[in-house]
Structure 1
Amino acid sequence: MATMQAVMCHGPEDYRLEEAEVPEPGPGEVLIKVEAVGICASDLKCYQGAPLFWGDEHRVGYCQPPVTPGHEFVGEVVALGEGAGHKYGLSVGDRAVSEQIVPCWDCRFCRHGEYWMCQTHDIYGFRQKTFGAMAEYMLFPAGALNYKVPKTIPVEHAAFIEPLACSIHAVQRGTIEFQDVVVIAGAGPLGLGMIAAARMKNPKLLIALDLNDDRLETAKLSGADLTFNPTKVDTVDEILKLTDGYGCDIYFEATGHPSAVADGLRMIRKLGTFVEFSVMREPVTVDWTIIGDTKELDVRGAHLSPHCYPVAIRMLEEGRLPMDRIVTHTLPLAEFQRGIDLVGAGTESIKVTLQP
């Protein structure tokens, strides 16, 4: 059995580069040689020990160590299990990507077509059945949702398909109309993807908020009409002034910081729509009365990226995002710790990718 280098998560702040066996594809399975893998904010929060991944008094931790992280990836098909090529339209040598969740196809949600909410919920990089892409090779299990990726998209850009697809789904949850004033809080990878996707909906005004001016410049290149830095202006006041005191129609929270939730509730209009996507490190406390008795808001979650991978691939093909600005760092796999630290600091990077 051949071996490979792989990052292994053993627990919070306990990630190690180790030697592992190269998996062999069984029936319906696809083996890829990983070409690029992104480090997601959820990878960072898992590394930092967030309760969602490691559990608390209310829930069992989602992460199942030891496991190889990495759910934002692209790679070259090097082997196909029986029936896999015909099922997915893939051949050895193709570039391919797989949706981050491998559904069970048998639970209540999967049977109803809501596979992204699968009760078993095996997502690459966190579960024993779905080892991730921070390795030289990775396996797409039978039942995965796989797509061929054009080789015209650079590999470090193609690794952005997963976060971009998540952004697209979040924008779909917002149901943007032509005359809407839309605010997207956070101009990190997910927020920038939301800006580009929201631009395709052509709202009246598209506004980005972030603490980093460089990211706000990238937000403009992604399609934002206006940008505001909350450390320099009162963003709630600015939005109210732009809307005759009513507030924005739709607010997307993509910062992962509790203050952005509270600010969003203040700047959104009555009967507005609040879309929450972030993974929070700690519980968020807000005045719940605003949602009900004060404004009668629609509050919608957004999870994963159902049916959005083909759209994300097309957006990258069409050059709808300034990817050379978004992918700020490309590191070898051995420098995974530096990559995690860059994402954690958030001052020098937007999207960090590893190339095994």
Structure 2
Amino acid sequence: MGIQTLESLPKTMAAVVCHGLEDYRLEEYPTPTPGPGEVLLRVESVGICASDLKCYMGAPLFWGTGDTPGYCQPPVIPGHEFVGRVVALGEGAGEKYGLSLGDVAVSEQIVPCWQCRFCQRGQYWMCPNGDVYGFRQRAFGAMAEYVRLPADAINYRVPETVPVAHAVFIEPLACSIHAVQRGEIELDHVVVIAGAGPLGLGMVAAARLKNPHLLVAIDLNDHRLEIARKCGADLVLNPRQVDVVEEVLKLTDGYGCDVYIEATGHPAAVTQGLAMIRRLGTFVEFSVMREPVTVDWTVIGDLKELNIHGSHLGPYCYPIAMEMLAKGLLPMEEILTHSLPLASFEQGIELVHAGTESIKVTLQP
């Protein structure tokens, strides 16, 4: 049957190409062609994630430490938060994913190998051979006019009930939902979410669905805290204005919060969480840190016997994220603060880095 196409495709496309840390360039790049089982999207919108910023700035996870290799494989097109319209289908791809030409679609951020121990057990998001879009040669990202979804990708058709402009938030919201699931929240819990950026706000909205006894959001930015209220936070705290550890201890008769989710990416938020969480509490670490974090592990072990849960990607959460967006459970018009042309990617990165004027910054190729 061969390739099905919706429209005539150009030979080249505009794309942001990562050549190294702080070396991203807008270039003309060959337009990809889908092979068997592959899908080609015309990109409608692509988000700039905090991990994109950290890769740009040289975080060890992406560029290595000397002893361990980095995850990023330049030259590569960045961008793993994206939504696009299906413009070409490789042989068998439509039937495989239930996609048709013209559909709006998203793809989970990791392309697994489907052969390793984790993939065979359904734990594909921990695949050691998996490639996250935008960092790896097998899965170029969507800071471009077109993006190719490899045959091993996990793709979804976006329902018409989700506005296309909001669908770019499906990926980060899925990550937020997974982090909340890792918190194992119960009805009588006091839950603290540190960080009211795009991911933290998604966590607040997801945690609200768990209906805990008290849901607290912490951030240094009062405007973001107001958005957190609209996402469902019962109480918001700014560390510049109050001693947040003292406030949480007061609220809990000195015991501390039951669940603490770290979504700031700042080392101080880790030590803050260890100070305010109760004995036998659950600490969820979500962020990609720019530098190593040192804490007193005695607090984790001998003093409080904490449950320490990591959180990685958004497995099995994309359908839930789409449903949340369809129901309007987040104030998306206030979360999606900046929509820039692809050529303004450097301005977008600066906005994310500053974090004072923006919440979610997106690029429109």
Q: TM-score, normalised by structure 2?
A: 0.97
In 2, the alpha carbon distance for the partners of 1:244 and 1:289 equals 23
1:38 correspondence with 2:39: no
The Cα shift of 1:57 comes to: 3.0
In 1, the alpha carbon distance for the partners of 2:321 and 2:166 equals 11
The Cα shift of 1:157 comes to: 1.3
Aligned length: 356
The Cα shift of 1:112 comes to: 1.5
> Please, which runs of 5 or more residues in structure 1 have no aligned partner?
none
In 2, the alpha carbon distance for the partners of 1:58 and 1:304 equals 25
Query: Could you list the per-position Cα deviations for residues 303-329 of structure 1 after superposition, in whole angstroms to 9, with x for gaps in the alignment?
Result: 001100000000000000000110000
Query: Could you list the per-position Cα deviations for residues 221-267 of structure 1 after superposition, in whole angstroms to 9, with x for gaps in the alignment?
Result: 00000000001100000000000000000000000000000000000
Q: In structure 1, what is the equivalent of residue 231 of structure 2? A: 222
Q: In structure 1, what is the equivalent of residue 356 of structure 2? A: 347
Q: In structure 2, what is the equivalent of residue 92 of structure 1? A: 101
The Cα shift of 1:208 comes to: 0.1
Query: Could you list the per-position Cα deviations for residues 91-128 of structure 1 after superposition, in whole angstroms to 9, with x for gaps in the alignment?
Result: 00000000000000011111121100011120000000
Partner secondary structure for residue 303 of structure 2: coil
Q: In structure 2, what is the equivalent of residue 109 of structure 1? A: 118
In 2, the alpha carbon distance for the partners of 1:305 and 1:334 equals 29
After the TM superposition, which residues 262-273 of structure 1 pair with which residues of structure 2 at under 5 Å, given as runs? Answer: 262-273=271-282
Q: In structure 1, what is the equivalent of residue 312 of structure 2? A: 303
Partner secondary structure for residue 232 of structure 1: coil
The Cα shift of 1:2 comes to: 1.0
Q: In structure 2, what is the equivalent of residue 257 of structure 1? A: 266
Partner secondary structure for residue 301 of structure 2: coil
Query: Could you list the per-position Cα deviations for residues 190-238 of structure 1 after superposition, in whole angstroms to 9, with x for gaps in the alignment?
Result: 1000000000000000000000000000000000000000011000000
The Cα shift of 1:135 comes to: 0.2
Partner secondary structure for residue 176 of structure 1: coil
After the TM superposition, which residues 1-356 of structure 1 pair with which residues of structure 2 at under 5 Å, given as runs? Answer: 2-356=11-365
In 2, the alpha carbon distance for the partners of 1:185 and 1:324 equals 22
> Please, which runs of 5 or more residues in structure 2 have no aligned partner?
1-9
Letter in 2 for 1:326: I
Alpha-carbon contact 1:156-1:353 (below 8 Å) kept: no
Letter in 1 for 2:76: V
CA-based RMSD of the aligned residues comes to 0.7
In 2, the alpha carbon distance for the partners of 1:193 and 1:337 equals 25
The Cα shift of 1:331 comes to: 0.3
Partner secondary structure for residue 13 of structure 2: strand
In 1, the alpha carbon distance for the partners of 2:314 and 2:36 equals 26
Q: TM-score, normalised by structure 1?
A: 0.99
Letter in 2 for 1:301: G
In 2, the alpha carbon distance for the partners of 1:196 and 1:280 equals 23
Deviant stretches of 4+, over 6 Å: none
In 2, the alpha carbon distance for the partners of 1:355 and 1:210 equals 28
Identity of aligned residues (%): 74
In 1, the alpha carbon distance for the partners of 2:82 and 2:281 equals 35
In 1, the alpha carbon distance for the partners of 2:73 and 2:205 equals 34
The Cα shift of 1:58 comes to: 3.3
In 1, the alpha carbon distance for the partners of 2:355 and 2:334 equals 15
Q: In structure 1, what is the equivalent of residue 3 of structure 2? A: none
Alpha-carbon contact 2:104-2:164 (below 8 Å) kept: no
